[in-house]
Amino acid sequence: MAHVWRGVMREFADRLGVTDASTVVTLGEGGTPLVPARVLSEMTGADVWIKFEGMNPTGSFKDRGMTVALSRAVEHGAKAVICASTGNTSASAAAYAAHAGITAAVLVPEGKIAMGKLSQAVIHGGQLIQIRGNFDDCLEIARELSENYPVHLVNSVNPDRIEGQKTAAYEVVSQLGDAPDFHFIPIGNAGNYTAYSRGFMEEAAAGTSTRVPRMFGFQAEGSAPIVRGEVVRNPETIATAIRIGNPASWELALDAREKTDGYFGAISDTAILAAQKLLASTAGVFVEPASAIGVAGLLERSAAGVIPAGSRVTITVTGHGLKDPQWALTQEDGSQVTPTIVDAAPRDVAEVLGLSPVGAPA
Ligand code: AN7
């Protein structure tokens, strides 16, 4: 019989220390595809693979950590969880809390989260509050409430989140048969960068891989506190998922970069959108803007001569393109894509497609 995927807590029960399977809250997250990227490989001379995290139940990598965080919250008798979010965490927390039958309060920056994510939080029954402020303000409030009120914090400052997210690195090693030479990944709070670094280091320590990849993390130029080495008070980028000026896992990320001989870089919004389009049109993988930053990062580092020919490269693309689809329909000059309209006649359609009838002289 075909293997049926049971979610990361059951698939990696020994690694995650799952002792009581009865309290596992899962939507079947993890087990996402690792897709070869032929055109990116040709462009860079490397062997490039895409870890497609948009294939998780709520459309982002957050589900890997949320299953662990919600399971532990339920185990401890929590009736409510709380998080601050740029969107994906709120969607995931609301869905997993709904599944567990408890409440999720989600704090998001007013007007700065993508429509798809907002709609997810709402339909899953999350108590959604828009804060007049940015993500960093939301996180401060969520932390304070979790200390003084009976609500369980499920942001990535909760170590259960990082634990669950490590499983993506385990999967990459198992899908490739070894760890890659380089791993590229977006950075917002730097929780996922930390999680992959740990996951890859665990694999190497266990002998399931022969190496730890160099971890290359990227922030948007207008929102790059770790790259610049200082808090950004008013972060700005079209990649709203990573519009974060004071990352929660900053110190952990510096440590992980040190241990993996890694790198932090900043990428312009223009390069992010170009990479999003390139990935969708050449690999068939549609991701939200923030998730394309690793692709842009690879192109930039490759051009800088840092990626030796033949290197094996993996890129985590963190969230699905349908979360924030407006960018797909926006052209470089800011105008909207308008599909061609013709009468309901085959000949008119063929003409627009540039087709000649079969057997007609060329
Ligand atoms: C698509 O949802 O912070 O560096 O509140 O949604 O671990 O923060 C989202 C982050 C990358 C950055 N890609 O990951 C939130 C939130 C996508 C994301 C990140 C996020 P971290």
Could you report the per-residue pLDDT of 122-175, keeping only the tens digit for each?
Answer: 999 999 999 999 999 999 999 999 999 999 999 999 999 999 999 999 999 999
If DSSP codes are grouped into helix, strand and coil, which group holds residue 144? helix
State how far the Cα of 189 lies from the Cα of 168, in Å rounded to an integer. Answer: 17
The alpha carbon of 362 and the centre of ligand 1 are apart by a number of angstroms equal to 52
Q: Which of the listed residues 32, 58, 60, 252 should we mutate to test ligand 1's pocket, taking the one with most ligand atoms within 8 A of CB?
A: 60
Q: Which atom of ligand 1 is nearest the CA belonging to 91? A: 2
Contact 196, 230 (CB under 8 A): no
Q: Is the CB of 191 under 6 A from ligand 1?
A: yes
Q: What angle do CA 86, 185, 178 make, to 5 degrees?
A: 140
Q: Is the CB of 89 under 6 A from ligand 1?
A: yes
Q: Is the CB of 30 under 6 A from ligand 1?
A: no
The first and second tokens of residue 252, run together, are 């952990």
Q: Which atom of ligand 1 is nearest the CA belonging to 189? A: 8
Q: Is the CB of 83 under 6 A from ligand 1?
A: no
Q: Is the CB of 319 under 6 A from ligand 1?
A: yes
Residues in the chain: 362
Task: Identify the pLDDT of residue 362.
Answer: 64
Q: Which atom of ligand 1 is nearest the CA belonging to 190? A: 4
Nearest alpha carbon, ligand 1 atom 14: 188
Q: What is the band of 293 on the pLDDT scale with cuts at 50, 70, 90?
A: very high
Contacts of 199 (CB under 8 A, 6+ apart): 165, 166, 167, 168, 169, 170
Q: For the segment 295-326, what is each residue's pLDDT rounded down to a tens digit?
A: 999 999 999 999 999 999 999 999 999 999 99
Q: For the segment 317-358, what is each residue's pLDDT rounded down to a tens digit?
A: 999 999 999 999 998 888 999 999 999 999 999 999 999 999
Q: For the segment 42-65, what is each residue's pLDDT rounded down to a tens digit?
A: 999 999 999 999 999 999 999 999
Contact 64, 30 (CB under 8 A): yes
Q: Which of the listed residues 32, 51, 56, 62 should we mutate to test ligand 1's pocket, taking the one with most ligand atoms within 8 A of CB?
A: 62
pLDDT above 80 for 1: no
pLDDT above 70 for 230: yes
Neighbours of 311 (CB within 10 A): 18
Q: Which atom of ligand 1 is nearest the CA belonging to 186? A: 11
Task: Identify the pLDDT of residue 18.
Answer: 86
State how far the Cα of 252 lies from the Cα of 249, in Å rounded to an integer. Answer: 5
